Amino acid sequence: MQIFKADQAHRIDQGKFQITLLRPGLIWGDPSLEDYAFGPLSRIDHATLGPGTLVRMHEHSNDEIFSYMWKGKMLHEDSTGHRIEVSPNHLMMMNAGKSIHHEESTPDSSVEMLQIFIRPEETDLPSNVQFYERSVIPANGEWTLLAGPKEMKAPLELRQQVAVYDAHAKAGTMLQPPIIEGMEPWLYVMDGSISINDIAINKGDAVTYSPSEMSTMLIHKDASLVLFLVKLDAPMTLAGQFSGRKR
């Protein structure tokens, strides 16, 4: 089992817009690695946006970008014609493909979210924006599949061998994460605290493990968890504006 602690992440402070930048491959504990990605899972921005924040219209290309909203509401606009509010009940996937422009703002409330950058399987795929509305967010520790490759029939389609789940659980709950053969886990504690085999993992920490090591996951403090299952050797392009960066 490998743990990436919250204090190892890089922080960017832009006033109302603050980012904790995570490079998932650093969980292996070797900063000399040529590539800081965890297979095609390249970068995760744990972002907070204060009321009145505006991230002006800008371009992305060859990035699969999943906006995981944990708290608050954000107004999204893009070059495909969408002008729509995203929230924990209304999640968004931007399959940037060859090119897409978007703008994000928080006119009325603060937001805490993950902006997740994944390397697509091919270069210059068609651009697309998807939304997933879920009226009920389970709070009983149930794992919910949010995004994944086409064959998984997830609510949001990712053009890569990466599956994304979340779970929200109360203190005292015991969980068993999903397993997919050939895919490696990367588990992020969005909030709260847990332990795996009596090892504490807190908000902002991440862990990877082999399924045989996962004998017990105990929730110590009400927790929100985001789990990535990743095929580390999946074919991928490095042409992504953000996801293609190795370090």
Instruction: Inform me whether the pLDDT recorded for 175 exceeds 90.
Output: yes
What number is the average pLDDT over the span 34-55?
Answer: 95
The model carries a pTM of 0.95
Residue among 116, 62, 104 at smallest CA distance from 241: 62
Say what the pLDDT of residue 74 is.
93
pLDDT cut 90: percent of the chain above it:
86
DSSP readout, 42-64?
A: EEEEEEEE-TTEEEEEEEE-S-E
Q: Tens of pLDDT along 105-131?
A: 898 889 999 999 999 999 999 999 999
What number is the average pLDDT over the span 38-43?
Answer: 98
Distance set, CA 160 to CA 18, 39, 109 (Å): 28, 10, 33
CA 154 to chain centre: 15
Q: Tens of pLDDT along 70-115?
A: 999 999 998 988 899 999 999 999 999 999 999 998 988 899 999 9
CA 240 to chain centre: 16
Question: CB neighbours of 70 closer than 8 A, spacing ≥ 6?
Answer: 88, 112, 113, 114, 190, 191, 224
What number is the average pLDDT over the span 196-211?
Answer: 93
Say what the pLDDT of residue 82 is.
86
DSSP readout, 94-151?
A: EE-TT-EEEEEEESSS-EEEEEEEE--SSSSPPPEEEEEE-S----SS--EEEEE-GG
Instruction: Inform me whether the pLDDT recorded for 216 exceeds 80.
Output: no
